[in-house]
Amino acid sequence: MSVAAAGYVRVSTEEQAREGYGLAAQEHAVGAYCQAQGWQLVEVYVDAGRSGKSMRGREELARLLANAAAGRFQRVVFWKLDRLARNLRDLLNICDRLEALEVGIVSIQEAIDTGTPAGRMVRSFLGAVAEFEREVITERIKAGIAEKARQGELVGPVPVGYQRSDGGAIVPDPATAPLISAAFTRYATGQHSLRQMAEWANGAGLRSTLGNPIDRLSIRKILTNPAYMGQVTYHDRQGGADVSKGKHPPIVDAALFGEVQVQLTGRQRRSTARPYGREPYPLTGVGVCGYDGTPLMGTRATNQGRRYMRCTTTARRGRNACKQPMVPAELLEAQVAAYVGGMVLPDEYLTAVRQELQQRLAVPDSGEAERLRRELERWKRLFVLGEIDETRLRRETGPLKRKLADLTRPSSFDLEGAVRRLRDMGSVWSESPRALQRDFMGEVFARVEVCGPQIVAITPRETYSPLFLLDRAHRFNGDQGVVWLPGQDSNLQPSG
């Protein structure tokens, strides 16, 4: 009986330009090989302009795997091993899935046919070599970027205030360079805060490199960028920085730049006595603004000493940037306590909840895991380009790595302990230290959405969600749109 074979060809735009991997040439080689073997070529799957670093975004590869599961062919033929995958984990994953379906892979260039034991051994070895080659290329790119910086060339996006000339040189932008100079001069007087500077910059028409309005953090990034005094800084992997004289002309002189740094440092020292961020706020990390989706931050009113939750958009761009007002933190925390304190968790249903949790923990959320991997890769690229140092890289990627580890490793969940915490916390909330309240919120809730003075939506974490669904079924007849307010009776049914 003739062997049914499928062809797979892939090329990324960079490879096509650099190495001449043509789709037509690959497809011709696949057809000739199948003809020489006496195999029937049933279909050729073409991923044009798709990178082999990941399986994500390769629609034809996904369709090939689906058709393999349907039993439409017994071999997958391609020109070279790295056409299938450049990542060893992906390569082994694809091969294992195909071999479980009794579908072998054939690499023409490396003469591999995993229909044989020898072919499977060689495939694993060459896959490791392909991944090693990719890592070497990445290291060369990093070294090349560092060398460009040492030679005085700016790496990464061109800073606001500069533009590329027709010849490719970086020169001051006649429209925005005067605004950058004015910003340094204005802040050096010591009479303006970063928030006031951001308002001034937006009013003057200054925008970020992406065309977004300037906020407090953006103006600080401008005022601390040595590129504006004609220098190039490259952050290495150990958190240090190499500073070189740039090939681009300065916009501000070194004396003015230094005076601005003195003003920034002085404001930092004066602000350490202020209580912002020096005590736990239970909603930190889970509270979000219902108007623009940005996180809420804890702050104190300097004249009253009261704790408030504030939209980070207004904190960065001013009070008129978002409709969400500052809300007393105690008001929102009381709503959480009232909600949790009224939860109904009948013991007779906990067995079913345990079974549901076991099923959820056994199957990680691959979509969320893939999103976290993409976010990690984004921060790594910023580090490679010299946009951030290693300290910032660790700070941003640490929480992402922990979330990814929770999704991708086998987990267990203490159901009885979770029920006990939910039952107890409502009654002891007011007597609990705020640090304990914050830990409880972070463990139980994924998102607490606030509009105006009240919580409008609460999203529990995946492991806790069956308990919340059980409570809603008993307390509110499964209604998902209930808003719990302070002092609300736990047996009160929602109106309407």
Task: Output the pLDDT for position 494.
Answer: 34
Task: Tell me which CATH homologous superfamily contains domain 4-145.
Answer: Resolvase, N-terminal catalytic domain (3.40.50.1390)
- Single-letter amino acid, residue 68: A
Residue with tokens 């914050």, as numbered in its chain: 438
- Report which of 456, 445, 449, 462 is spatially closest to residue 480, judged by C-alpha positions: 456
Task: Output the pLDDT for position 176.
Answer: 92
Task: Output the pLDDT for position 279.
Answer: 67
Report how far residue 280's alpha carbon sits from residue 106's, in angstroms, rounded to the nearest whole number: 59
- Report which of 433, 163, 473, 206 is spatially closest to residue 197, judged by C-alpha positions: 206
DSSP notation for 92-153: HHHHHHHHHTT-EEEETTTTEETTSHHHHHHHHHHHHHHHHHHHHHHHHHHHHHHHHHHTT-
The CATH fold assigned to 162-271 is: Hect, E3 ligase catalytic domain fold (3.90.1750)
- Single-letter amino acid, residue 391: T
Angle at 351 between CA 345 and CA 355, to 5 degrees: 115
State yes or no: is 12 an active-site residue. yes
Tens digit of each residue's pLDDT (9 = 90 or more) over 72-99: 999 999 988 788 877 766 777 788 788 7
454: Cβ contacts below 8 Å, ≥ 6 apart: 332, 335, 483, 485
Neighbours of 170 (CB within 10 A): 18
Catalytic option among 12, 107, 181, 218: 12
Taking each helix axis as running N to C, give the angle between helix 415-428 and helix 350-362, from 0 to 180 degrees, rounded to the nearest 10.
120
pLDDT of the chain along its 496 residues, tens only? 578 999 999 887 655 534 545 788 889 889 999 988 889 999 999 988 777 677 777 889 999 999 999 999 999 999 887 888 777 667 777 887 887 788 888 888 877 877 666 666 666 665 566 567 667 777 777 777 778 878 888 877 889 999 988 888 899 999 999 999 999 999 999 888 888 898 899 889 898 877 888 888 889 889 999 999 988 877 665 555 677 888 999 999 989 999 999 888 876 654 444 444 456 789 988 899 999 888 998 887 655 668 899 998 888 777 788 899 999 999 998 888 888 888 877 777 767 666 666 665 555 555 677 778 878 877 776 665 556 666 677 778 877 877 776 665 445 566 777 777 777 776 777 778 888 888 888 888 888 999 999 998 888 887 787 778 777 777 766 554 444 443 343 333 333 3
Report how far residue 239's alpha carbon sits from residue 285's, in angstroms, rounded to the nearest whole number: 26
Task: Output the pLDDT for position 143.
Answer: 77
Report how far residue 285's alpha carbon sits from residue 287's, in angstroms, rounded to the nearest whole number: 6
Structure tokens at 470: 């059980």
- Single-letter amino acid, residue 353: V
**HSE of 491, CA atoms in CB hemisphere, 13 A:** 0
Domain positions in the chain are 4-145, 162-271, 274-362+414-496
Report how far residue 107's alpha carbon sits from residue 104's, in angstroms, rounded to the nearest whole number: 10
